[in-house]
Chains A and B, each alone.
Chain A
Amino acid sequence: MENKIRVLRAEKGMTQEELADKAGVTRQTIIAIEKGKYVPSLELAFKICKVFNKKIEEVFQWS
């Protein structure tokens, strides 16, 4: 699973901590997702997409 969280975050000038707060998770989880080490649940994936106001396929791609 690949994702564009780092790019989208950079576009919005958002820190990992801010995204973590908005998604209701720890910063470590955001770091792990960005690195592709952890695949988030569907619920968390939707929460992250909501923060960026994007569709799920625009943020996460199945490779």
Chain B
Amino acid sequence: MSYKTFKWVRIFMAMFIAATVSIAVSIENAYLALAAVIVGMISMLLIKRNVKEVLVDEMVKNIAGKSALMAYSITVPVLALLSLVFMFSNLKERGSDMYNLGIILSYIALAQMFVYSFFYYYYQRKYGRDGE
């Protein structure tokens, strides 16, 4: 399969998933939405294997790395700041929805930091930056 065909298949698959999830939401069926997403992911994996052309090279990885770092640098401080705002503005109403939202956001920020640190340490070890 050529890259051009793959691009069209990818657009078609995205439309299929979006349509199915929309229908699932309108009829309030979570299983249908989940099934659509899983079927879409598996189909895309299988289709990707049949593409003969190079889809990901060093420039794509370079761009992805820079984008990921930028996304991380923005989302973590924003999430942390929002969580503090939600928690401290609702200190008198502990257990309220807004207070709980603050706690959830802080945990999401922590989870992101943990994942980032894990992979940073992993790649640091892999490329021997610690002198090993």
Contacts and interface: CB of A to CB of B under 8 A. Distances in A.
A40 B54 contact: no
Interface residues of B, number: 8
Contacts of A25: 54, 57-59
A56 B58 CA distance: 19
Interface in A1-29: 20-21, 24-26, 28-29
Interface residues of A, number: 13
A39 B57 CA distance: 13
Contacts, number: 28
Contacts of B27: none
28 contacts: A20-B54, A21-B53, A21-B54, A24-B54, A24-B57, A25-B54, A25-B57, A25-B58, A25-B59, A26-B53, A26-B54, A26-B55, A26-B57, A26-B59, A26-B60, A28-B59, A29-B57, A29-B58, A29-B59, A29-B60, A32-B59, A38-B59, A38-B62, A40-B58, A40-B59, A41-B58, A43-B58, A44-B58
Q: Considering the complex of A and B, which 4 residue pairs feature the smallest CB-CB distances, nearest first?
A: A25-B57, A29-B59, A26-B57, A29-B57
